[in-house]
Chains A and B, each alone.
Chain A
């Protein structure tokens, strides 16, 4: 917090000024949430390797159980079954059959 002296209509006033993140409990403006963005508390299924999407096995709105296969990605003739590490409902599917994905790309979001 800093104290500033300001002059208004010829009269001086002392004002205390705090940066917004110094104020306990202050609500900070949030950036506009993009479509398919991940919210706090969402669980994201990531690509464990780079490759091509062979199959997507879930749609938005589907309920998914931990251990359920949600997609298959192929690289170097390795067919990789991507299983969910979480229970939840699919809120976003960011891939489709034939897409190339990179390691750690966000494939599917569960809420």
Chain B
């Protein structure tokens, strides 16, 4: 399938995806409510920090961190692995394969199409974050915000390609949803979703730095909360770009080999 055809039809895929997301608005809002784990962690860690700061975080710092985590989670949320598993097992992938547009692009459009509704939820949280944290706890350097925007895009891509890779495992396994469960268990620990990675003991932090989870969520949160100056942020975003490349190669490789095994069951 040509890139040209995919790029040309992508705006329409997005527009139709937004219409679909709006049609599923009730489910989407319930799903968004289900991603409120950072708010729970915010209450827990703020209580801990009331006695004394933990690392660089005081009570207010944790509020800003976990509100940022909520926002980043809304912008980078992904469920392609579940959709791909369903499509492979039920044979509905056939309809995607028959069209002259790369199926991976159709999955991407479906996820991206939900972002506008998620931004609607994230914006008030961002306003609360600014009020709660004040300007002192967010970076003032516009370049860091520019890098933040890039790191959000990269985090989305890493999460998407990992989802695609795990989804494509369903061509080889009877179902790869358990792999996704295992991935999520690690993601909860190492991404910075429930605990800032910088609070890990030194050895564990080194492990977290080598794994993709932090780059799929934690880095944009760190940039939003002023954890890195411009130079350091640039280096981390460059590393994140390598993860984008690596996960893309993995996902597309598994997809390419997997579709050769597709059995198109179910009619």
Tell whether A pairs with B: no
List the interface of chain A (C-beta within 8 A of B): none
